[in-house]
Amino acid sequence: MNNITNPSKQTRRQFIKSGTIAAASALAGFSVVRNAYGQNADPIRVGLIGCGGRGTGAADDCLTSAPNVRLVALADLFKDRLDKCLKTLTDPKREGGPLKGIEVKDDRCFVGFDAYEKLLATNVDLVILATPPHFRPVQFEAAVKAGKHVFAEKPMGVDPVGIRRFMEAGRLSREKGLAMVAGTQRRHDPGYVEIMKRIHEGQIGEIVAARCFWNQGYLWKVDREPGWTDMEWQVRNWNYFDWLSGDHIVEQHIHNLDVINWAFGSHPVKALGVGGRQARTDEVYGNVYDHFAIDYEYENGVHLTSMCRQQENTQALIGEFVIGTGGSSSTHWDRWILKGKNAWRYTGGKVNPYVQEHADLIASIRKGQPINEAQTVAETTLTAIMGRQAAYTGKEITWEEMMASTLDLSPAKYEFGPLPIHPVPKPGQTA
């Protein structure tokens, strides 16, 4: 078994082929819970920062999530990615035709390391942050200072210094009454919302243990091309460098960790773990691991077993399992189940959660009741970073240590040129 094989688990990138959400819903059984605002609602002007596959998909989801939403500005480090994004969204051969709401002019297309600053100086109301995760804290901070509502792809950073910066910007965004929704779409999926409600009501009793997994095969990679500097190649191949992605426990497994933190209503207080790099050892895979297994402990002494891997021809499993004194919950492969005296299975309607998170965000802006998930998802990101550091160092890591850590993976400067790859972490040697 290679990558995820369950057909019901569509990624944002796979969903982009849908022409409109109505057409996609008719074909795939998905729907969107619409807000009460119709075509006469005030327009929401959107700017996209990060025009790769993830950003292109997020822009599509945002535009299809609610009426009168317009994409008016684009920013990316590379012009070819910006051009491809715009071409994809306006392609006349696109299923359903060109996406409506694209109003991007040449003078609203910005390229370079400072492109995000130029976009934020325009009159956009909402920005989508979809650059590699390393850039999230500084770009979120800049967006908040510019008074913009934000949709930010997960994770919220890659190191403790960045996460604390993000948390402070999140505090400021709440003070300013700004909305912030993250790309942890499970929090906007009615199946997850309903089962969490039941867990919090005590329908499985007191939580005594939990398990979560994101085990799959390989992901995409970008081979180096002639003429690319170290910086350009690493940013284009960002998934495989700790300073850009945070490693896959942070970039991908965060989804499962977020569900468990949601169930517990808190973050863990310490972590002990293992991990390594056995199947992906070529330089194209940078310096990240290909597997992790972490034991997290929460304040009440309850433990979470967390596992993730990206190794080809291995057993796939993506999901979360919570055990209580009166039953258990299972959330995986689009199934939401309680076992025990309050046995239950979700049978309600399904939505496309990648679109629903944008619908909820825009509805909250228009109602004047902004959703703000900044602190919650920042804590989940730091949960993942704490597990990563436990595996990298071979030591138990506490939440207090993470909140005080000076670990900063940023490069010395942002320019196209030489950039050595960080050494692969070695437990017992990496600090």
**Domain extents for the chain?**
12-185+356-372, 187-346+380-404
pTM over 0.85: yes
Q: What is the mean pLDDT of the chain?
A: 92
Is the confidence at residue 51, as pLDDT, over 80?
yes
CB 168 within 8 A of CB 140: no
Whether 12-185+356-372 and 187-346+380-404 share one fold: the answer is no
Is the confidence at residue 267, as pLDDT, over 90?
yes
With pLDDT > 70 as the criterion, what percentage of the chain qualifies? 91
Q: Give the pairing of strands 207-216 and 303-310.
A: parallel
Q: Which of 34-43, 118-127, 232-241, 277-286 has the lowest mean pLDDT?
A: 34-43
Q: Give the pairing of strands 397-398 and 350-351.
A: unpaired
Return the closest-CA partner of residue 231 out of 36, 431, 413: 413
Amino acid at the residue 181 = V
Cα radius of gyration rounded to whole Å, the chain: 21
Confidence of residue 56 (pLDDT cuts 50, 70, 90): very high
**Two tokens at 54?**
């993830």
Fold for 187-346+380-404, please state it: Dihydrodipicolinate Reductase; domain 2 (3.30.360)
What's the number of CA atoms in the CB half-sphere (13 Å) around residue 179? 23
Show the beta-strand stretches assigned E in 84-172.
109-111, 126-129, 149-152
Q: What is the sign, positive or negative, of the torsion defined by CA atoms of 254, 256, 259, 261?
A: negative
Amino acid at the residue 413 = K
CB 359 within 8 A of CB 229: no
Return the closest-CA partner of residue 345 out of 331, 362, 363: 331
Amino acid at the residue 249 = I
Confidence of residue 98 (pLDDT cuts 50, 70, 90): confident
Mean pLDDT calculated for residue range 416-423: 97
Q: Give the pairing of strands 327-332 and 317-324.
A: antiparallel
DSSP, collapsed to helix, strand or coil, labels residue 233 as helix
Confidence of residue 204 (pLDDT cuts 50, 70, 90): very high
Report the alpha-carbon angle 204-377-272, nearest 5. 70
Confidence of residue 94 (pLDDT cuts 50, 70, 90): confident
Helix extents (H) in 16-74: 21-28, 53-65
Answer yes or no: CATH 3.30.930.10 is held by domain 12-185+356-372: no
